[in-house]
Amino acid sequence: MESAERLFKGELLMVWDHYGSGADILDALHDFMEPPPFSADHLVKRRYEAAYRKAAKNLLVGVRGHKVILRGGAPIGFLEELYPDMRQFALPFVEMQELFGAWRRFVEGVPMPVLGHPLHPYYGTYAPTRTSHLELFATWLSQYKGSRSRAVDVGCGSGVLSLMMAKSGVKQVLATDDNPNAVHSLALEIERHPPKGRVIPALGDLLEPNQTQANLIVFNPPWTQQTPTSLVDRALYYPEGLFERFFDQAEQHLAPNGRVVLLFSNLISLVQPEIAHPIQAELARGRFTLVQTLNRRVKSTKSGKSRTKEKVQVWELERASR
């Protein structure tokens, strides 16, 4: 039986010879499982990805002395950092590929023109691959006339928004994330490129680590609603109730004349039209009013062509007067 079919049926296989053999088997698995077309529904694509990943994880690779036992495999420093006491073990080939990609991004950095230096996301930390929403936030920040004494960056990830704010004259930014890898990543970034203003990474849910009122509460949340199943998923998909909890906390922590600023997109209206728009739903509750929204079409990174309907947005909200 072909390797792809055996993986699909749940058999565990091990790659012993060359990196290329593992990559070829995973390509064959994709062909065998017949991926849905590009135009397929979002949920159909997600279901396929989950099924593919389950089968792909049956393909294993050996690790000895923190090195992958394969010809053609490059060094992966995270094997030593994340598994310091494990001399010999096996891990799924796809996870080895992800560790390799993560190590490269960490060592080489991800270009971040809005900062003027690359970001070095630690393993398991989200880092933006597109920049339109960051450029739009830079535009918003440059025209913001309110106080820059204290901001909270909720869900800081690798820290780009915190560092942009610190660069633009915000004196103190509390950067929260409930992913410990993200908090560690930003702490390392601050050491590498000390910012002009003070940036304090803090582990916790939404605004919980915040103790005093903030002039700016900034949040680039996940943009579509699904139940997240991994650390990376939690940057992209929000569970039910996340926005409600965020706005409850934002109302408590916002200083007089402060602003709540969300980076969002019209993606949810395009791919999940049946779900209530979480910011419009909050505005309808009457606790906040809309100051302005900024919109920009998304450019795809590879071709530079505009995507047809997708737009990134900055939503600026203030407390409603009673």
Ligand X SMILES: C[S@@+](CC[C@H](N)C(=O)[O-])C[C@H]1O[C@@H](n2cnc3c(N)ncnc32)[C@H](O)[C@@H]1O
Q: Which is nearer to ligand X, 142 or 321 (CB)?
A: 142
**What are phi and psi for residue 189, nearest 5 degrees?**
-65, -40
Q: How many Å apart are CA 255 and CA 108, to the nearest integer?
A: 39
How far is the C-alpha of 27 from the C-alpha of 247, rounded, in Å?
A: 44
> In this complex, which beta carbon is closest to ligand X, that of residue 29 or of residue 263?
263
Using alpha carbons, select from 13, 110, 38 the residue that is nearest to residue 2: 13
Is 176 or 215 the residue whose CB approaches ligand X more closely?
A: 176
For residue 141, what are the contacts with CB-CB under 8 A and spacing of at least 6?
A: 164, 165, 168
Rounded least distance, CB 181 to ligand X, Å:
9
CA–CA distance, 236 with 144 (Å, rounded to integer): 27
Residue number, 22 or 155, with CB nearest to ligand X = 155
Alpha helices in 261-320 (DSSP H): 267-271, 278-285
Chain length of the chain: 322
Q: Is 269 helix (H, G, I), strand (E, B) or coil?
A: helix
CA 112 to chain centre: 15
Nearest to 232 by CA among 77, 142, 125: 125
List interacting residues with ligand X (CB under 6 A). 126, 128, 155-157, 160-161, 176-179, 182, 205-206, 220, 222, 234-235
CB of 130 to ligand X, least distance (A): 10
d(CA 220, CA 159): 11
DSSP 275: S
Q: What distance in Å separates the CA atoms of residue 181 and residue 155, rounded to the nearest whole number?
A: 12
Minimum Å gap between C-beta 155 and ligand X is 2
Which of 73/155 has CB closer to ligand X? 155
* Shortest spacing between CB 205 and ligand X, in angstroms: 5
Q: Which is nearer to ligand X, 177 or 189 (CB)?
A: 177
Is 17 exposed, middle or buried, given 0-12, 13-18 or 19+ CB atoms closer than 10 A?
exposed
> Which residue number is nearest to ligand X in terms of Cβ?
155
Nearest approach in angstroms of CB 315 to ligand X is 14
Task: Give the shortest CB-294-to-ligand X separation in angstroms.
Answer: 16
Task: Give me the least distance between CB of 154 and ligand X, in Å please.
Answer: 6
Cβ-based nearer residue to ligand X, 66 or 234: 234
